Structure 1
Amino acid sequence: MSSSFYHLLLSQSTTKLAYSLYTMTIITFLYQETGSATLASAVTIISMVSQLMSSSTVPLMMEKFPLRRILLLSQISQLTMYVLIVVSLLMIPSPLNYFLLLIFLSLISFFNGWSNPSRSALIPEIVLKEKLVSANSILSTTDQTLLLFGWSIGGILIAYFGHGKVILITIALLILSIISLFLLKTNATTIKKKRKSRIETLKEGWIIVFKHPTLRTITKMDIIELFGGGIWIGAVTLVYVQEALGQDEKWWGYINSTYYAGSIIGGILVWRFSKTINKSLIGYIVIGSIGVSILTIIYSFVSTPLVALILVVLMGPLYQVRDIAQSTFIQNTIDKETLGKYLASKATINQAVFSLSVFIIGMLVDLISARFVYLFSGFLLLCSGIYAYQKLFKKQQIEVKHNQNL
């Protein structure tokens, strides 16, 4: 890997950790100050809506600025908001500062929404094609590790240092991220682009999403899977632990931690076998989807807590195989000029569908049971895997045979 890849890794790692610490800080501060669970939960809702709005603006940013500069703008804008949060906490009285915190939260989430599509689109510029699986697995594993670390240590840091000092830690992390981005060098060449209207720019990614024959299949797969994606949010896993496993909140924590641990193990395994996976990306997308679906269906019938933990750990590698193989396949399929716009449009769809999924899954848990939603999600994953096999894998095999006969 090039030094630029490691600068990107450091930058995104510190940003992810800062974002998780800051989110925990705002949630706990609002809850401790007001005692309102509704106000505290508004943090998650505002973040999701802001990132959804942000994704729709990414193509316009990519038309004007290089990817590295978009990441820098994202980090510097977030840093400014963090500084304003500290000022708000120290100098502005309640309840006015609650209102300001939610405004700053929405802006931070908006600017953070530029990061993921830009990062994914930047990877092919700084990593050789044959190293993409390895690079994606390293980034994914690091993301999962920092999510686990951030949510595990965040509460301890808040209890020990207080809300204001934890925000100062996030500011230090973002400064480190910005320095790392300044050191990053890309292989991108400056191309004189034909001036496009805003409508044309916004449509470009959506046209690829819905009209590119292969990527249209990927989009449909994501939509099918994400309609059951809400099964791993905290509220649903808590109900499952209590209803299906007959355990208390302690096992809820075990399930959540094990989920991240399985993803970390999966990322390491994908990195270790990256060359093998790179030879058949579509095959591993299918294996991952069908494998996760089978384990999720089994998980829906389990009553023994230890068996549930084992199944969650086993899901981790399969989730990672599917996601990393899919990311690499997309990066290999689209040219670098339009990759970011496609990823931004795809992220908008994914966030919208996932938000709807959270609502549907929550309703099904209340109306039927937690077991049913895992069975329902497993069935959707199975449909997605079979669809990928029919539309992608079989088509690829036909093309391979045709080329061999030429």
Structure 2
Amino acid sequence: MIQANRNFHYLWSGQTLGNLGDILYIICLISLVYNETGSVLHMALIPFVKTMSLLVSGFIAPIFIEKYKRTTLLFTTLTAKTILLFGLCLITLYGIDTTFTYALLYVLIVIISLLEGIGNPARRSMVPDLVEEQELVRANSFISVANQTSMLLAWPLGSVLLVVWGEQNMLWLTVVLFLLSSILTYQINLKETMINESQESKWLAMREGWELIFKSRKLTTLTAMDVLENFGHGVWIAAILYVYVETAIGKGEAWWGYINAAFFAGMMIAGIVVYRFSNRFESHLSLVIMTATLCLLGLNVWFGLTSSPWVALMVSFIFGFPQMARDVSQNTLIQQTHRDKQLAKVYASHGTLVYGTFGLATLVLGWFAEEFGVRATYILVSTLFLFSFLIAFINREVLHSDYKKEPLKQTMI
């Protein structure tokens, strides 16, 4: 049972603290850089640099996954992030008013993000090894609830702490959060597997995740859907949503915050619902994905066409329900295809596509919204969800296929 699985609780609690630390550290840096430079461009560079670093990490992560145990890799990356954040605290203590310290700040952001991108696939691949197969849906929904709760709390909490404590004290808090996350991760006791054959070359290790995706029709289908839908999610970025609030529903920036909060609240409550009824989801994952995709299509159209701020707020809240059901179902189906390091490599390659697609979407959709209007942009992304549904429908038998664990040429140590 999940309730009695100590290792699983070490994993999700360590992840939750790490996620909270990640958001607080980004909030802190954005405020710090803006106060020091007064430049919106420099401020916007922080999330951009972070996203691009995560994109790069997806390519190099398999090299480390191949070489080290996943528990060792996750603990090492978290510990290294803690040390680097400690160094970041020392740098900001003396100010970033010189070219060298400013450049060093971004170098640390890049390295910390690379470490995050290397550790994430290892962490995500541990879930099916720590719980029984019949509890995968429940475990994934439990982790999603924890993630959404930390995200829902982190932004308002960060804003308050920024005013009360200031950037410097907030950075020290993130060091403590990552230290606790590292300690919890160290407690995970997982029987790792090692390949009997000689170590693969770096190129083969980097290539394996892509090969596993494109050799599996199920993984190819899920990845194609994810690429389309993640491109569509670009319409919910801060810049486009801010313009939507101002031009489509005629409200101020406060409503931008309300709509964001409603979305995360919907995701959090949806996660609880999925967790509660996880047994009913298990045998209908493909149906859940197709139904959720259709719902997301309709909600994007509704959100884009409405002029009522209250309807927009309601739709944003409802949006979290099909999104959560889809994400949990998709994650479970991915975890049913492979185990151990192979699954970690699949997640690494999959993450590269997700980050790359979302980064491209922010540029393309931003241009489209400027040229054709924000309402037309929401209609555009709705067509992407339609294509995603058609892909799922055509491959519904593949998505519905029973899980058969593939034998791995590995020995337990």
Shorter-chain TM band: over 0.9
CA contact (8 A) 1:125 1:188 kept: no
Q: In the alignment, which of 29, 40, 43 is matched to residue 40 of structure 1?
A: 43
In 2, the alpha carbon distance for the partners of 1:309 and 1:111 equals 36
- Candidates 75, 86, 90, aligned match of 2:89: 86
For 1:219-298, list aligned pairs within 5 A.
Answer: 219-298=223-302
- 1:300 corresponds, among 282, 297, 304, to 304
Counterpart of 2:13 in structure 1 is 10
How much does 1:187 deviate? Answer: 3.5
Aligned AA for 1:11?
G
Q: Aligned partners of 2:214, 2:96: CA distance in 1, in Å?
A: 49
CA apart distance, 1:33? 1.2
TM-score normalised over the length of structure 1: 0.95
- Give unmatched runs, 5+ long, in structure 2: 403-413
Question: C-alpha distance in 2, partners of 1:193/1:14?
Answer: 37
Name the SS for the 2:198 alignment partner: coil
8 Å CA contact retained: 2:36, 2:96: no
Range moving further from structure 2, 179-188 or 361-370: 179-188
- Alignment partner of 1:215 is 2:248: no
Matched AA of 1:363: W
Shift of 1:213: 1.6
Contact 1:290–1:386 (8 Å) recurs in 2: no
SS at 2:110 equivalent: helix
In the other structure, the counterpart of 2:313 is: 309
**2:153 is the counterpart of 1:149:** yes
For residues 359 and 396 of structure 1, the distance between their equivalents in structure 2, rounded to whole angstroms, comes to 32
Map of 1:178 onto structure 2: 182
Determine if contact 2:58/2:351 at 8 Å carries over to the other structure: yes
Q: Secondary structure at the match of 1:185?
A: coil
Does the aligned pair in 1 maintain the 2:128–2:339 contact within 8 Å?
Answer: no
Q: Percent identity?
A: 30
State yes or no: 1:369 paired with 2:373: yes
Shifted more, 202-211 versus 321-330: the winner is: 202-211
Contact 1:61 1:70 in 2 (8 A): yes
Deviations 1:48-83 (A, max 9, x none): 111111111111111111111111111011011111
Task: Confirm or deny: 8 A CA contact 1:244 1:302 kept in the other structure.
Answer: yes
Amino acid at match of 1:46: V
By how many angstroms is 1:192 displaced?
2.8
**Given the alignment, which residue of 55, 63, 77 partners 1:52?**
55
Rounded to whole Å, the distance in 1 between the matches of 2:203 and 2:119 is: 22
Aligned-partner Cα distance in 2 for 1:344–1:396: 21
Counterpart CA distance in 2 for 1:13 and 1:357 is 27
Cα distance in 2 for partners of 1:325, 1:185 equals 26
- 1:396 offset after TM fit, Å? 6.1
1:63 aligns with: 66
Contact 1:294/1:382 (<8 A) preserved: no
Give ranges in structure 1 of 5+ residues lacking alignment.
401-406
1:234: how far off? 0.7
Asked if structure 2 preserves the Cα contact closer than 8 Å seen for 1:224 and 1:381, the reply is: yes
Q: Relative to 1, partners in 2 of residues 1:93 and 1:330: Cα closer, same or farther, differing over 3 Å?
A: closer
* Number of aligned positions between the proteins: 398
Pair 234,349 (structure 1): closer, same or farther in 2 beyond 3 Å: same
